[in-house]
Amino acid sequence: MRKAALVFIGLIAVLAIAVFAFQAKLGEMLFQRAVEQNTARDSMADLSDGLHVGLCGTGSPMPNPDRAGPCNIVVAGELMFVVDIGEGGNRNIAQMGFNAADLDGVFLTHFHSDHVDGLGPLQLFHWTRGASTAPLPVYAPEGVEAVVDGFNAAYATDDTYRVAHHGETVVPSAGGGSEARPFVMSGSSQVVFEAQGLTVTAFTVDHEPVAPAVGYRFDYRGRSLCISGDTSKSANLERACKGVELLVHEALQPALVQELETALKAQGNANAAKIMFDIVDYHASPADAAESAQETGADMLVLTHLVPPLPSAFLYPAFLGDAENRCAGPIVVGEDGMFFSMPAKNDSIERSELL
Ligand SMILES: [Zn+2]
Ligand SMILES: [Zn+2]
Please state the domain extents for the chain: 41-107+182-353
Superfamily of domain 41-107+182-353: Ribonuclease Z/Hydroxyacylglutathione hydrolase-like (3.60.15.10)
- Provide the residues around ligand 2 (an ion) whose CB is within 5 A: 112, 114, 230
Mark residue 318 as left, alpha or beta (left: phi above 0; alpha: psi -120 to 50; beta: remaining). alpha
What digits encode the pLDDT tens for the residues 61-84? Answer: 999 999 999 999 999 999 999 999
> Exactly one of 102, 114, 206, 288 is catalytic; which is it?
114
**pTM > 0.75: yes or no:** yes
Residue 243 φ then ψ, to 5°: 80, 5
Burial of 296 (0-12, 13-18, 19+ CB in 10 A): buried
pLDDT at residue number 289 = 98
Residue 114 falls in the annotated catalytic set: yes
306 Cα to the center of ligand 1, angstroms: 12
Backbone phi, psi, residue 346, to 5°: -150, -170
Gap from CA of 115 to ligand 1 centroid (Å): 7
The 10s digit of each residue's pLDDT in 317-354 is 999 999 999 999 999 999 999 999 999 999 999 999 99
The pLDDT value recorded for residue 1 is: 61
Longest dimension (CA), the chain: 85
User: What does the chain come to in residues?
Assistant: 355
- Ramachandran area for residue 38 (φ above 0: left; ψ -120 to 50: alpha; else beta): alpha
Q: Which positions of the chain have pLDDT values less than 50?
A: none
Determine the pLDDT at residue 4: 83
DSSP H or E run through 140: strand 136-141
* The pLDDT of residue 77: 98
CA 111 to chain centre: 15
